[in-house]
Amino acid sequence: MTTTYFRECQNKQNMTPVRTTCGCFWHVQHEFVEAERKILGRSDDQITSRAGYAGGKAGALDGKVCYHNAGNVADYGKLGHAEVVSMRIPSSKFYDFAVEYCKLFDKDGFRPDQFGDRGTEYRNLVGIPGGKSSALAELLVKASVDTGDKLDFAVGKGDDRDVPKVSFIMDTSEYPSFVGEQYHQFHDGFAFGENYPNSYNSLASAFAKKGEDFGKCPNGSLGIGLGGL
């Protein structure tokens, strides 16, 4: 899964909200946390990358969008959403983050879990303010060309299919993102060797202790968090 949702906040810092995805959001979140550190020099308490859901036509159900759960409460897949990672970055640094997004794909344009996780929940998408009409969309295409021209781009219309080597460009104002559950935040990756340090895993509880709201969804499938968390 590769999804990034770049969100734009019209404030004095001129931060842009962005959402991205390309497969499972655990791996993608880690890569963008590292990008925030490397490109922006952010400390742990300044990290904005969050795992979540976006891209569906249905929006939220009773104010919720949730991971698969035993009660089938506001299931993100049934609502047409993909797993995404949202962040707030300066508009001037969008190209650098777009390069990091494109680097998530291999030389053939496949995402890391292309032949594992499949389906609409794992489709590739990038959410930016203004969608395809935004100047940021041109920078996204340029970043793709500059990193090997591995991807094609299409206009996301909501509930889009999972198409290999294609990333859907979404307008964040039309297709907002919904933050994922705390147990999905700063999680170890899905692949062998992606056991991240405790200093990374503990960021979720650190942000929760500071009052960040990760929603009121039930825990994951079978009534517990994924992997027993």
- 146-176, pLDDT tens digit by residue? 999 999 999 999 999 999 999 999 999 999 9
Tokens of 113: 């879990």
pLDDT in tens, 64-86: 999 999 999 999 999 999 999 99
The pTM for the full model equals 0.89
pLDDT of 6 reads 57
Dihedral class, residue 62 (left if φ above 0, else alpha if ψ from -120 to 50, else beta) = left
pLDDT > 50? residue 8: no
Rounded alpha-carbon distances, angstroms, from residue 128 to 94, 136, 158: 10, 7, 14
Q: Which residues of 166-184 are buried (b: 16+ CB within 10 A; e: fewer)?
A: bbbbbbbeebbbbbbbbbb
Categorize the per-residue pLDDT at 10 as very low, low, confident or very high, splitting at 50, 70 and 90. very low
